[in-house]
Amino acid sequence: MARSNKPMVWLPFAAGGTVAAFLLPAVMLAVLLVTLGVLPADALSHDRIQAFVDHPVGKLAILVVLALPLWHAAHRLRMTLQDLGVRRPGTRRLVARLCYGLATVITVALLYGLLPTA
């Protein structure tokens, strides 16, 4: 039986879909509630956001909220292009490399940006 790399693609796809469905609306709702004045204005103050970003758990949360939906979008884009007729073997491989390659580059850039500075 041949080994498949599908689990390595499906894991970030599924996790990204879950994050996109549950966490992104919560973040947008929090920003909207602060903007409308329902939550206090200092709830998203610069000092609080900076403290969140500087904490290791905050960095992990930022990575999860940004990178996983990106992988979800990369897989969706690849499958959409395939549904639109990009089906030749060489072209399919190129599209997969472009989609997942871009997701990898942006994820590495996020990791680099979140690394602690000396």
Amino acid sitting at position 75: H
- Check residue 44 and give its pLDDT: 86
How confident is residue 15, by pLDDT bands cut at 50, 70 and 90?
confident
- Check residue 88 and give its pLDDT: 87
Q: pLDDT tens across 81-116, in order?
A: 999 988 888 898 999 999 999 999 999 999 999 887
Q: pLDDT tens across 22-81, in order?
A: 988 998 998 899 999 998 988 888 999 999 999 999 999 999 999 999 999 999 999 999
Domain boundaries, the chain: 13-114
17 pLDDT above the threshold of 60: yes
Contacts of residue 50, Cβ cutoff 8 Å, sequence gap at least 6: none
- Check residue 98 and give its pLDDT: 94
118 pLDDT above the threshold of 60: no
5 pLDDT above the threshold of 80: no
Q: CB 75: neighbour CB atoms within 10 A? A: 21
CB of 68 closer than 8 Å to CB of 12: yes
> Measured on CA atoms in the order 40, 41, 44, 48, is the torsion positive or negative?
negative
Contacts of residue 107, Cβ cutoff 8 Å, sequence gap at least 6: 67, 70, 71
- Considering the domain 13-114 in this protein, what is its CATH number? 1.20.1300.10
